[in-house]
Chain A
Amino acid sequence: MRLKGILISVFVVLVLALSLAPAAADGHCPQEGGTFTIGVDTFLPMDPNTAAHDWTFYAITNINSMLFRIESGQPVGDLAESWDISEDGTVYTWHIRRGMMWHDGNEVFPEGESREVTAHDVVYSIYRQYDDESSIMAADLRNLFVSAEATDDYTAVLTLSGPDAIIYDKARGLTFTAIVAQEAIEHYGDDYGLNPLGSGPFEFVSYSPDEEVVLRANEDYYIDPCLDEVIFRVMPDVPAAMIALEAGDIDWWGAVTPGDDVGRFLDNEDMTVINFGCPVATRLYMSVDKAPFDDVRFRKALSHMKDGEAINAALRGPTHVKGAGTAGPGVAGYVEGLYDEYHSYDPELAMSLMDEIGIVDSDGDGWREFEGELLEIPMFSWNSDPAPDYVAAMVDAGAQVGLKIRPEIADPGTNNARRIDGEWGIYLGQGWCGEGGTNALWGRNGWISTLGYVDEEIFSLLDQSAQNLNEEEREAQLQAATTRIAAIYFEPAFGFFNIFTVKNNYVKDFFGGEWTLNLVTDDHNVWINEDER
């Protein structure tokens, strides 16, 4: 009787342990199958060279293998099973996992006719990004790149001119170098982004622009995905998407959740709110190489004329974080007090600065003139919420100090083209995070260099920090760069906001987006608990 009791207890414990265990690395899934539907507000063609877009990378990082993935801030192996770094930090030797196959059953590799992914594919993919100067390859990596070579089929060697301290940056580093097959690039040409082919845990099935992208499980992956299918549903109408999320029509909202909804979802026990953990800034850029923006006093006036913190708090709700700079609180390079020092609301100061440089209302019509003509500044912005509200706020702030601001709101493509052309005016900007973001934005050939943001001292500080493996020194260099950016550019800041995504709790073993999306790794295998759905 006693033995029987022990046996029953052991059996119960075993059953409980098995039912509570997360999906294991060997591919065991508590529940197999099902479709994971991800809602996003925008989506671009999935070419890793051109898709400088976080939500699109959610798909790319599941279709393509990367050398490594980032989990909880740490690099873990993917296509590279392991890697060695030389003592001086300039040579990376990647040991490629054997048996990784390109997806088959497509125009390039018919069913059963695929081939193994090799170190030569890694070299091809790195050079494809490096040779294309407009690709999204991180600036630090591009500046330090010397060569990439395959010493054999399973060993790729990346040589840099100096150590790259941010090669693992989750927002910009080598995590954005997806490994592609040369045959697929040559076969599809410019249409590769519409027919992506990789060796990751999910295979591409279909893409209906502005509608949805469908992926199915890659059964040849070294871990069996628990999910059968992943669907990215493009939902530009965010309020409608929030309703769909609550109704279970989408399982995870992977884009920015509006502030008002974050508060509501935090109170919903069926939902989990996930913080990206890297506050991003909303700020203004301007054509600093053209008058009157080339006068620091005018830049300063633009910064002080608006109540940035109040505007950001009103538009971002509970996701608002006070501050300025590229790095937010908790991120390397963050400088406390930057907002109060450079961007505090002081319309009187703004007006006196404009008076000082001759931007005055000489004809008494209530609007200021510059060099005898009405100064009407175009403010460029993209057209999705809440960007137009920032424009409206700036128009009103300008009116309070007699500065006429003309809204120029367009689709993201047109808006981007204006920045590249360096059109005269002010630009709304948001995003960028962490060290990689600071480098990519303000560094040499940075994202806004077309507007005249060129300062050798900032470039030098960022170059030094990108190669400095000493964390304390790197932090000091990043802070120095951030402070100089504020002091010389006075880039008008509104503040930061936290990016929150929201998932239904029946999605299990999911650890968030973190800019790229890892649904299947050695430690995680996302599954859907259909009983809870």
Chain B
Amino acid sequence: MADSIVELAAGSEIAEQIRPKSFSYIAFQQFIRNERAILGVIVLLLLVLAAIFAEQIAPYDPYKTNYANVKQPPSAAHFIGTDELGRDSFSRLIYGARISLVIGFLVSAVSTTIGVVLGAASGYFGGAIDMIIMRVVDVMMAFPLLVLAIALVAVFGPSQDNMMLALICVIWIWPARLVRGMVLSLRETEFIVGAKALGATETTIIFRHILPNVFPIVVVQASFLVAEAILAAAALSYLGLGAQPPTAEWGSMLSNAKELMRILPVMSIAPGLAIMVTVLANNFIGDALRDALDPTLRR
């Protein structure tokens, strides 16, 4: 029997193969094997770079009018033409990435944070807290997101900041509901009961034991919320309730371009395409994250 025992040197190839892999390592491997995820990351990275280096990339000042050069079709000087005030549409598109991405990531981050805190409190403490938070969520879920956001912007007044505030007010309910459901099942598990038996405080239980288990799913949800926020912001700006002129924002560019639809369709197509590509890239990343972080979906 002794002859059959093979001692494995630490760091050897076989040892590496059979060494247990961490959850994040497996998830990462799964993520980078997803082609659509890589495409999404590349597109998003390019957009982020365009947003950061807009001053260097944009050939013209996006706000500079040129009345001798209005409604020009695409040309070497103006890749996607000029608008009704003679502004270069390509430069406005580049600057628009900055606004759209900031709105998407900021709204998603803030609403997810609010949603996680309230959802965790609701699920863990239950009782009156749960009842109040969940009834608010139920009432808000009875309305379509955009309708509620429009109503809130109407109250706050149309502006980019108020639009973001309105979107945060209506989007936090989704992560809140998701987290509450997960916390409800987690708080009954043996390791939480064990932690309680060992005298762990509620803060420790929530932050050390529950939230880390909720985190992967929250990340997936947040990535989808980025896309949702960008789309909702574009819709609100299209309706004149978001970014105000002359801000270069994709939704308001679409709104402006509708009057020129017949003579300069590229003016509508370009910001529309930009919105679509950004949302698609986010959704690809979200899908891949979900596949990678949920063991039941892992291939």
Contact = CB atoms under 8 A, between A and B. Distances in A.
| Chains A and B form a bound pair | yes
A314 B240 CA distance: 21
B285 to A, nearest CB: 34
A95 to B, nearest CB: 49
Interface stretch (B5-13, B169-177, B215-223, B253-261): B253-261
A26 interface: no
B85 A392 contact: yes
Contacts of B181: none
A392 B62 CA distance: 11
B287 interface: no
A389 interface: yes
Given A313-B67, A314-B70, A314-B84, A260 B263 contact: yes
Given A395-B246, A396-B65, A409-B245, A314 B259 contact: no
A410 B158 contact: yes
B157 A315 contact: no
Interface in B222-280: 240, 244-246, 256, 258-263
Contacts of B84: 314-315, 386, 389
Contacts of B246: 391-392, 395-396, 407
A389 B256 contact: yes
B196 interface: no
B85 A395 contact: no
Contacts of A307: 67
A314 B86 contact: yes
A395 B261 CA distance: 25
A392 B263 contact: no
Interface in A226-265: 237-239, 258, 260, 264
Interface in A449-491: none
B63 interface: yes
Contact of A239 (B63, B65, B244, B258): B258
A146 interface: no
B244 A409 contact: yes
Contact of A399 (B63, B157, B240, B263): B63
Contacts of B68: 310
Given A388-B240, A389-B256, A409 B158 contact: yes
Interface centre among A307, A383, A397, by most chain B C-beta atoms within 10 angstroms, is A383
Nearest to A385: B259
Nearest to A311: B67
B222 to A, nearest CB: 32
A386 B157 CA distance: 20
A393 interface: yes
Interface in A347-403: 383, 385-386, 388-389, 391-393, 395-397, 399
A264 B70 CA distance: 18
A393 B244 contact: no
Contact of B64 (A237, A258, A396): A396
Interface centre among A258, A264, A393, by most chain B C-beta atoms within 10 angstroms, is A393
Nearest to B67: A310
B67 A314 contact: yes
Contacts of A239: 258-259, 261-262
Contacts of B260: 260
B259 A260 contact: yes
A142 B245 CA distance: 40
Contacts of A407: 244-246
Interface residues of B, number: 22
Contacts of A395: 63, 245-246
Interface string A304-321: 000100110111000000
Contact of B259 (A258, A393, A396, A397): A258
A307 B86 CA distance: 13
A377 to B, nearest CB: 15
A313 B240 CA distance: 24
Interface of B is mostly: loop
Interface centre among A260, A392, A407, by most chain B C-beta atoms within 10 angstroms, is A392
A269 B258 CA distance: 25
Contact of A238 (B63, B67, B259, B263): B259
Contacts of B70: 314
Contacts of A264: 262
A389 B244 CA distance: 10
Contacts of A260: 259-260, 262-263
Nearest to B241: A383
Nearest to B244: A407
Contacts of B261: 239
B240 to A, nearest CB: 5
Contacts of A392: 63, 65, 85, 245-246
Interface string B84-122: 111000000000000000000000000000000000000
A162 B259 CA distance: 48
Contacts of A397: 65
Contacts of B258: 237, 239
Interface string B23-43: 000000000000000000000
B44 to A, nearest CB: 29
Nearest to B70: A314
Nearest to B257: A239
Nearest to A383: B240
Nearest to A409: B244
Nearest to A392: B246
Interface in A254-311: 258, 260, 264, 307, 310-311
Interface in B50-69: 63-65, 67-68
Given A258-B259, A383-B240, A393-B85, A388 B67 contact: no
B51 to A, nearest CB: 21
Contacts of A386: 84, 259
A392 B66 CA distance: 12
A238 B256 CA distance: 12
A397 B262 CA distance: 29
Interface string A400-436: 0000000101100000000000000000000000000
Nearest to A388: B245
Contacts of B63: 392, 395-396, 399
B214 to A, nearest CB: 42
Contacts of A385: 256, 259
A393 B240 CA distance: 17
A315 B263 CA distance: 15
27 contacts: A238-B259, A258-B259, A260-B262, A264-B262, A311-B65, A311-B85, A314-B84, A314-B85, A314-B86, A315-B85, A385-B259, A388-B240, A388-B244, A389-B84, A389-B85, A391-B245, A391-B246, A392-B246, A393-B85, A395-B63, A395-B246, A396-B63, A396-B65, A396-B85, A399-B63, A409-B244, A410-B158
| Leading 7 A-B pairs by shortest Cβ distance | A392-B246, A310-B67, A392-B245, A388-B245, A314-B70, A383-B240, A396-B65
Interface of B: 63-65, 67-68, 70, 84-86, 157-158, 240, 244-246, 256, 258-263
Given A310-B67, A386-B259, A389-B85, 20 more contacts: A237-B258, A239-B258, A239-B259, A260-B262, A260-B263, A314-B67, A314-B84, A383-B240, A385-B256, A385-B259, A388-B240, A389-B245, A392-B85, A393-B65, A396-B64, A396-B246, A397-B65, A407-B245, A409-B158, A409-B245
